[in-house]
Amino acid sequence: MKLLATTGLVSGIFLLACSPADQRYAQPFRLSGPVALESSVAYVESSSATLFMIDPAAATLRARRVLVGQDPLLPVRRAQHDEMMVLCRGERGQPGVPQESPSLRLVPADETKPVRVVPLGTRFNTLSQSDDGRFVLAHSGPTQGDLTADLLLNPNEIAIVDMDAPTPKAVSRTVRSFGSVPLGVTFSGELNLPEGPRRLAVVRSQGYVTIIDLTNPTRTEITVPLLLPDDRRVVTPTKVIFESKDKEPTIFVLASGADDIYALRLVAVPAAERSADGNDFRPVLSQLGAGRGPADMAIFGAEGQPRLLVVSAGSQDAYVIDARSSRSTRIQLEAPANRIYLFEDTSPAQPTKSLPRALLTGIGTEARVVSFLDLDQIEDLKQRNLETSRPLAAPATDLRLFPLRGAAVLSHQGKGIGIGLSVIDLRRRSISPLGSQSLPGVVEAPAPSDKLWIAANPGAGGIQDSTGQTIGYRVAFLSLGDLSGKEVRVDAPVQQILPLGRSRDMRSRVILTHPSPVGYLTVLDGESPDRTTARSLQGFLLDDLLERGVK
């Protein structure tokens, strides 16, 4: 007995000598994405601060893993670049966990290129970037992330990064506030400013906009209130566009809660009036009347004759405004419109003349027609340049314009009517309804593909065999050339469709993502989508899990 007791005691010591349980696999997976790059797709798993990049052209489907900074929040593709940008909020430190500064990580799709790190001084939670991906602005947005997690947060602090710099650096500053915070940022193209062509960023805040010179980010920003101090209306800028062809460029601001369009003409500041770090331009504000409740605007017209086209859903009309003289021309519409889609093409009346035109729609309204507006000589011909379509099967919920293919695709809201899509021929102005089981989402494949990919609503699209067992799910595609539709059967419900560009083997592919807590996708051939050439990758979040842990 003594021997047994001794042995038991020794064994107990052996067991009790163990340290507390290791928690490396305790953290839940927190997956963001997918994000489509040129020919690959990327996800970010936040718990392990890992970016997973999958090349569908690889002989063996496998996720490439790249470690990014701690607490990665926002994976986005850098515009016009085959590169991921991941905003990492860093680690503020805790026992056993070292502190890490916030940063912006740039991960090229090409694994031979290095990952770049741009340190940020602040735990921002939103990224905005210019259309060409050159300028990136990090700021604290109103919805992303947990703003209350920080002991001190300056929501008006921003960081500007010029990605084309040899070593990109973040220039931080705080924009002047009138009580609001940045809601979004719009970047201009090259503008003819007094000291030479440069680019601007316009930060939208409730009640005002802030203009920042991106080439000279340390210069004083210009804040333009949209209301007089005693005006208690709530005006929120929703869209900013730039007229860049003029000698004195103009910024147009569309705002909800206002019936006017705000025009900011950028005029030169005389050298004698400039301060040491002052701007070479200043905005001159004018307000352009545009009906009731302007909802969308666009610029058209030849150089030196810019015109602003505005649709106002509240008054069911469109306005063409001379940006210089503020003279406006009203066009009465048959149904309210809140979206403008500019395109240049022929029309049934002008079959040989490719001229600027606009398609006007009321997305999310009860409107059952779309309007075609010929913009050439619109101020003279006025109402005669308007053509209204025949009634649609149901009000539109979305519209995708494919100007190079002379087509637009409308998604319908019509529950129970069996029609989910209509294809508009922009040249003939005909509308072809397409049948669909459900209300689909439409995704365009990058050129030169002519396919539109159509995903069923979540929960729809399952195929049952004679016994009622689900044997697959369908995804459909439409060739815009001949409007022929086909389907491909896959093994799991489709969450997202990501048509990609051409890979190094000169073939394009389409990624279908499926619901799974550990990652599940299917790769289809983009040119000849077919089940026989499809293949899947499942569980890629588990890749090398034993070697790396979750945290």
Partner 1 sequence: MNRPLLTALGFSLFATNAAWAASPDAALSDRPASERIGITVSLDAEWMPVSDGGARLFSEKDTNDAQGISAAFDVKRIGQRGTLAVGLGILDDDSTSIFAAAHRASLDLDNYYATASYRFAVRPWLQPYVSVAGGGTHAAMTLRLNDETTLDDHRSSHWSVFGRASLGLRLATPTIRQARGSLPPFGFAFLVEYGFQAGSALALRADPPSASDAKIREDKLPVAGVALGTLSRTFPFFRLGFALLF
Q: Which residues bind partner 1 (CB under 8 A)?
A: 1, 3-4, 7-8, 10-12, 14-15, 18-19, 21-22, 24-29, 47, 60-63, 471, 490-493, 514-518, 522, 531, 534-540, 542-550
Our measurement of the distance from residue 217's CA atom to the centroid of its chain's CA atoms, rounded to an integer in Å, reads: 24
The residue (of 275 and 469) whose beta carbon lies closer to partner 1 is 469
The residue (of 360 and 500) whose beta carbon lies closer to partner 1 is 500
Beta-strand ranges (E) seen in 163-303 are 170-174, 182-187, 191-193, 196-198, 200-205, 208-213, 222-225, 236-243, 250-256, 260-268, 281-289, 294-300
The residue (of 17 and 151) whose beta carbon lies closer to partner 1 is 17
C-alpha to C-alpha distance for 30 and 301, rounded to whole angstroms:
48
The residue (of 50 and 125) whose beta carbon lies closer to partner 1 is 50
The residue (of 96 and 435) whose beta carbon lies closer to partner 1 is 96
Minimum Å gap between C-beta 544 and partner 1 is 5
Minimum Å gap between C-beta 460 and partner 1 is 15
H helix intervals, 262-318 = none
The residue (of 164 and 544) whose beta carbon lies closer to partner 1 is 544
The residue (of 12 and 196) whose beta carbon lies closer to partner 1 is 12
Among 242, 204, 244, CA closest to 224: 204
Minimum Å gap between C-beta 105 and partner 1 is 23
Minimum Å gap between C-beta 307 and partner 1 is 51
The residue (of 189 and 539) whose beta carbon lies closer to partner 1 is 539
Minimum Å gap between C-beta 148 and partner 1 is 23
The residue (of 45 and 444) whose beta carbon lies closer to partner 1 is 45
Among 291, 205, 193, CA closest to 250: 193
C-alpha to C-alpha distance for 2 and 12, rounded to whole angstroms:
15
The residue (of 25 and 292) whose beta carbon lies closer to partner 1 is 25
Minimum Å gap between C-beta 500 and partner 1 is 18
Minimum Å gap between C-beta 551 and partner 1 is 10
Q: Number of C-alpha atoms within 13 angstroms, CB side, residue 127?
A: 28
Helix H or strand E encompassing 378: helix 378-381
C-alpha to C-alpha distance for 537 and 503, rounded to whole angstroms:
18
The residue (of 208 and 453) whose beta carbon lies closer to partner 1 is 453
Is residue 518 packed enough to be buried (19+ CB in 10 Å), middle (13-18) or exposed (0-12)? middle
Minimum Å gap between C-beta 61 and partner 1 is 4
Tell me which amino acid residue 525 is: D
Minimum Å gap between C-beta 451 and partner 1 is 20
Helix H or strand E encompassing 490: strand 484-490
Among 188, 186, 178, CA closest to 155: 178
Question: How do 339-345 and 355-361 pair as beta strands?
Answer: antiparallel
82 in Cβ contact with 53 (< 8 Å): no
The residue (of 197 and 515) whose beta carbon lies closer to partner 1 is 515
Minimum Å gap between C-beta 22 and partner 1 is 5
236 in Cβ contact with 225 (< 8 Å): no
Minimum Å gap between C-beta 125 and partner 1 is 23
The residue (of 104 and 498) whose beta carbon lies closer to partner 1 is 498
C-alpha to C-alpha distance for 100 and 355, rounded to whole angstroms:
55
412 in Cβ contact with 421 (< 8 Å): yes
Q: In this structure, what token pair is assigned to residue 492?
A: 């799991």
Minimum Å gap between C-beta 455 and partner 1 is 16
531 in Cβ contact with 491 (< 8 Å): no
Phi, psi dihedrals of residue 107, rounded to the nearest 5°:
-115, 110
Minimum Å gap between C-beta 95 and partner 1 is 19
C-alpha to C-alpha distance for 305 and 376, rounded to whole angstroms:
12
The residue (of 54 and 261) whose beta carbon lies closer to partner 1 is 54
Q: Determine the 3-state secondary structure of 347 from DSSP.
A: coil
Query: Bridge partners of 444?
Result: 452
C-alpha to C-alpha distance for 65 and 51, rounded to whole angstroms:
6
Q: Determine the 3-state secondary structure of 285 from DSSP.
A: strand
Among 56, 59, 85, 54, CA closest to 72: 85
Minimum Å gap between C-beta 71 and partner 1 is 17
Ramachandran area for residue 90 (φ above 0: left; ψ -120 to 50: alpha; else beta): left
Among 313, 309, 371, CA closest to 338: 313
